[in-house]
Chain A
Amino acid sequence: MNKTFTIIKREYLSRVKKKSFIVMTILGPLLMAALVIVPVYIAQLSDSVYEVAIVDDTRLFYNEFSDANNVKFTDLNIDVDSAIELMKAGKFDAVLHIPTTAFQAPSTLRIFTEKAINMNAKLYMESVLRNEFELMKLAHAGIDPETLKATETKISITAIRMLKDGHEQTDYPEVSMGLGIFSGILIYFFVFLFGAQVMRGVMEEKSNRIVEIIVSSVKPFQLMMGKILGIAMVGLTQFLIWIFLTFAIISMVSVAMPDVFRFTPQENIYISASQSLNPGELQQQMQQIQQHNTAAGQIMEGLRSINFGIMIFSFIFYFLGGYLLYAALFAAIGSAVDNEADTQQFMLPITIPMIFAIVMAQMVMNNPAGPIAYWLSIIPLTSPIIMMVRIPFGVPVTDLVLSASLLILGFLGTTWLAGKIYRTGILMYGKKVSYKDLFKWIKRTD
């Protein structure tokens, strides 16, 4: 046991001290944030102004286009051909031609360009013209646009789950979906990332020929477990630092830009609204609710409804469980082969259940309490991913207990299996190993 600890310590420290680990751990959350912010920033910054000339033969619409999003509109009260000549001379990037027949036959609308069209500009012009044409049609039909606007209604039904203990709970399925798929994918990446590290570590020891020196001091199983557990600690360290940094970044942002995170809790309003019998008061409160019903407010509200303690705890559990289950198999593969190229044939059976789980995640989100979701979150090969997808929607405790126990049994099983392959594999050189050999190694009893 003492020696296993020595091995865990080496495996952990040798990885944590690496520059690449330190960089990834600290920059990871920053890179993620940058990935979101930078493209937006660049889009705002870099594009040169796109010059559009408007040739409006109807003289009805040229005023409706306003410069925005790096697109600039210029009204040219001349004929199309001259405008095109100007464009060819380099004065404009595009010419929008609204012929007199445009209103009756919108298909006669044209945009002339020399280079490929700027899609943003095209979509913008289309939306302006659609809007104007609709208004004109309304006017023809004698409908006041204001009346029409007043009839527009946005529906978003609030899902209330009646909990067994008598409480009601507002569901935010969109938020749960996002969070579920995010944690599922994170588990997938963690398992593969660190599982592959186990495999490479085993292969390194084998090709370095240090393995025979080590197994003359410790049991092969101790060496394998030491490596698997050491790398698990590396994964946990990285995850916890990421969580910590993310919360630190969020709280820094919320101090710097308090508006983003400020909102009134909705539940209070719902409760007072339902208690109130006065129709006038109700209407007033409805308006209040609508004010808070912005998209950002919804998301924040949804996030508040998630129990992050449980999320983080179950993430750590399912990460560790899934990792241990697969890492043992990765170790077995690493021990059986002489080089990276030979790993391919054995990787397939490991990758398939994981990829299958990711593919099925969509279906599980649509019906998080259905039979597919249930079974995939119980079977240990897929449960680490699928259970994480389900948890934000709320999962019965019995499902959780069953899934967790099976996962523990699952990784004990794969570890036992892998140990048998490993102790033979690490001493086997220069032989291309087949599945048949692996089965023989498993059956061997010494």
Chain B
Amino acid sequence: MKYIFQATNIYKKYENHQALTDVSISVPRQGIFGLLGPNGAGKTTLIRIINQIIAPDNGKLFFLDEKLQPFHIERIGYLPEERGLYKKMKVGEQALYLARLKNVNSSDARKSLKEWFEKFDLMPWWDRKVEELSKGMQQKLQFIITILHKPDLLIFDEPFSGFDPINVNLLKSEILKLKEQGTSIIFSTHNMSSVEELCDHIALINKSEKILDGRLDEIKSAHSNQIFTLEIGELKEPLEKLLTPFATLLRTENGANDVVKARVKIDKGYNANDLIKHILPNAHFHGFREELPSMNDIFIKTVTGKYPMELKEEDLKKHLEDIDSPNQVINQNSPS
């Protein structure tokens, strides 16, 4: 029972393209699992398979070590990327209706809806039509609807798109609270900064295949570039000379109180210990820390094979467009 959800060797083919090729993921319990990947990689297909909206061509699915079955959808909450509500239906009535479809009985649904509505300041809108709500309020309503039936597994597909920063923070804190209470969460996004903030585990899908998988901190150290920042006071010898056999000096910067900040890349065959051992007798240390690559860098490195700084400008632009494009898709498709 270590994992709330497992998918093994999933294949899915559409008429003209392969959406998923031999993808396996294991979503740990009570954690936030980031499902990452460029546009069109197959993330939404995988999420739809987990929600039993579509069936895989091949592969096995398990919910808490049981084979995934139709009744499990009542224990899953799903906030799709492309989401909406009945515009003409009243807010409270609609939330109750969608809760009923998850088999929550009316009085329970009403009770917990009221709690959530109070919390999110939606109570005065109970009897208004959804179209009268602002976009942000509609998003809050959708969030409430997703979690109302107290699912064991929550799936958020780009949950923050369309939110203002205040509501993004509200939502993040609610998601973290749910995690504390024992909910497991799958979190699909292009927003790498929120991945670093929230996720414990990630899986990266590219061109229908899973290319990276694991704990976020482990992935980050595995992608270490061996770049360190040194903060040094008095030096007995010039820094460059001290570093020579072990590392390359990338940049220096003069800080306050004669402290020098140096960015250093340790050469192959050596490690941080060697460097410290060598410099320690000759310098007065103020600070020493590893500069881990950002999730954004790892994402681009894994997908394109190069770090952003190594990419040519036009390549980078292309990849950034890939990453940004979900918003464009939404605009193209929106009925207005």
- By a beta-carbon cutoff of 8 Å, the part of chain A in contact with chain B is 2-3, 6-7, 10, 14, 204-205, 207-210, 212-220, 338-339, 427, 429-430, 437, 440, 446
Q: Is B124 part of the binding interface, using a Cβ–Cβ cutoff of 8 Å?
A: no
* B190 CB to nearest chain A CB (Å): 19
**One of A217, A338, A446 near B101 (C-beta < 8 A):** A217
**One of B48, B73, B85, B102 near A210 (C-beta < 8 A):** B85
- CB distance B54 to A212 under 8 Å? no
- CB distance A209 to B84 under 8 Å? yes
Beyond the given A213-B84, A216-B53, A338-B333, please list 4 additional residue pairs across the A-B interface where CB-CB is below 8 A.
A214-B98, A215-B53, A216-B52, A430-B333
Q: Is B280 part of the binding interface, using a Cβ–Cβ cutoff of 8 Å?
A: no
- Give the residues from 279 to 336 in chain B that come closer than 8 angstroms, CB to CB, to chain A: 329, 332-333, 335
Range for the number of chain B residues in contact with chain A? 20 to 34
Q: Which chain B residues lie closer than 8 Å to A208 at the CB level? A: 84-87, 335
- CB distance B53 to A210 under 8 Å? no
Q: Which chain A residues lie closer than 8 Å to B78 at the CB level? A: 212-213, 216
**One of B76, B101, B329, B333 near A218 (C-beta < 8 A):** B101
Q: Which chain B residues lie closer than 8 Å to A207 at the CB level? A: 335
The complex places the Cα of A339 from the Cα of B335 at a distance, in Å, of 9
A-B contacts, CB under 8 A, total:
73
* B132 CB to nearest chain A CB (Å): 15
- CB distance A214 to B101 under 8 Å? yes
Give B124-160 as 1s and 0s: 1 = Cβ < 8 Å from A's Cβ atoms: 0000000000000000001001000000000000000
Q: Is B177 part of the binding interface, using a Cβ–Cβ cutoff of 8 Å?
A: no
Assuming the contacts A216-B76, A217-B102, asked whether A6 and B97 have C-beta atoms less than 8 A apart, the reply is yes
The complex places the Cα of A207 from the Cα of B101 at a distance, in Å, of 20
**One of B53, B73, B101 near A427 (C-beta < 8 A):** B53
- CB distance A213 to B97 under 8 Å? no
Interface SS of chain B:
loop
- CB distance A14 to B98 under 8 Å? no
- CB distance A213 to B98 under 8 Å? yes
Q: Which chain A residues lie closer than 8 Å to B103 at the CB level? A: 2-3
Q: Is B121 part of the binding interface, using a Cβ–Cβ cutoff of 8 Å?
A: no
Q: Is B197 part of the binding interface, using a Cβ–Cβ cutoff of 8 Å?
A: no
- CB distance A14 to B89 under 8 Å? yes
**One of B73, B97, B335 near A216 (C-beta < 8 A):** B73
- By a beta-carbon cutoff of 8 Å, the part of chain B in contact with chain A is 15, 48, 51-55, 57, 70, 73-74, 76, 78, 80, 82-89, 97-98, 100-103, 142, 145, 329, 332-333, 335
Q: Which chain A residues lie closer than 8 Å to B89 at the CB level? A: 14
The complex places the Cα of A204 from the Cα of B89 at a distance, in Å, of 12
* A214 CB to nearest chain B CB (Å): 7
* B21 CB to nearest chain A CB (Å): 17
- CB distance B76 to A440 under 8 Å? no
- Nearest neighbor of A214 in chain B, beta-carbon distance: B101
The complex places the Cα of A215 from the Cα of B102 at a distance, in Å, of 11
* A349 CB to nearest chain B CB (Å): 22
The complex places the Cα of A341 from the Cα of B16 at a distance, in Å, of 26
Assuming the contacts A6-B100, A214-B98, A217-B101, asked whether A427 and B48 have C-beta atoms less than 8 A apart, the reply is yes
**One of A6, A210, A216, A429 near B51 (C-beta < 8 A):** A216
**13 A-B Cβ contacts within 8 A?**
A3-B100, A6-B97, A7-B101, A10-B97, A213-B83, A213-B142, A217-B98, A338-B333, A430-B332, A430-B333, A440-B15, A446-B55, A446-B57
Q: Which chain A residues lie closer than 8 Å to B97 at the CB level? A: 6, 10
